[in-house]
Structure formats: structure tokens, C-alpha cells
Amino acid sequence: MNPRDKRILVDTSAWIVIFRSGGEPEAREFVKQKVAADQAATSPLIILELIQGCKTVKERDQLRLQLESLQIFDLENTTWERAYSLGFHLRRKGLTVPTTDILIIALALENDCLLLHFDRHFSLAAQHLKDLRIMAVGPL
């Protein structure tokens, strides 16, 4: 693996696949190794998306505690500026990407991370963004 790929930003879509019982054991092991090596990152936006899917307060609290132990990438002014530019650029290429995905792409680029995902929008966006490094957790 390329040394630049040491840090990964794990998108909500990848976490969902990894948390699912029986879903993608190779991806689960990859993320487990990255977490153990302190190379996995998240953001408040991703945490929010995941918490919305929790069924109980206990589940919510446990998930939040686990995710907040990772490196956290905040949405800074520079991230928003990059996202504005990305959204405009991708739309001019004929690609409409959800706002949350544009923000996640901006975070990955800004923090020089491999973006781990299970969302076709990231694969489509990567075709137009030469610096975006992605890895899908399974076949899309």
C-alpha cells in the first residue's frame, strides 16, 4: 500500500457495511487494523449520520464514544471553501453529488486521506478529481 494511504477517512456508507453482521469481513479487518494503528478518522458529520440510525440510547452512546476516540476532522472554513469549489466543478461535469458527500470528499482531500466508502457518488466523483483517493468496501 502506498505510504500516502496510511490515514483513512471512513465514510458512513463504509461503517454501515462494516457494522452489518456478515458484511465484508476483509473491510472489517482493514478498518480494525487502521483503528488499532490510530490511522482511522471520522468527522462530526459522519458521526451524526451514523447516530441517526441508532435504535436505543445505549447504542447511540456506545457508538458515539467509539467514533469520538478516532481522529476527528472538523469542517473548517477551508473545508467549506474546498467543498464550494468541488460542488461547482462536479456539477459542471454533469455530476450531482449530495452535499454531505461533497463535504466528505473535501475532508478527505484536505487531510490527504484515502476515503473508504460504499457509495457510487464517490466513485463517480473520483473520475473527475485526480487527487481523490478512494477504496470501496465491496462491489458497488
pLDDT the model gives residue 27: 87
Q: Sorting pLDDT into bands at 50, 70 and 90, what band is 28?
A: confident
Dihedral (Cα; 94, 98, 102, 105), 10-degree rounding? -100
Count of domains forming the chain: 1
Is 4 a residue whose pLDDT tops 60?
no
Q: Residue 86's domain spans which residues?
A: 3-136
Q: What pTM value is reported for the model?
A: 0.91
What are the backbone angles phi and psi of residue 133, rounded to the nearest 5°? Answer: -105, 125
Task: State residue 61's pLDDT score.
Answer: 97
- Mean pLDDT of all residues in 83-92: 98
Q: The CATH number of the domain where 23 resides is what? A: 3.40.50.1010
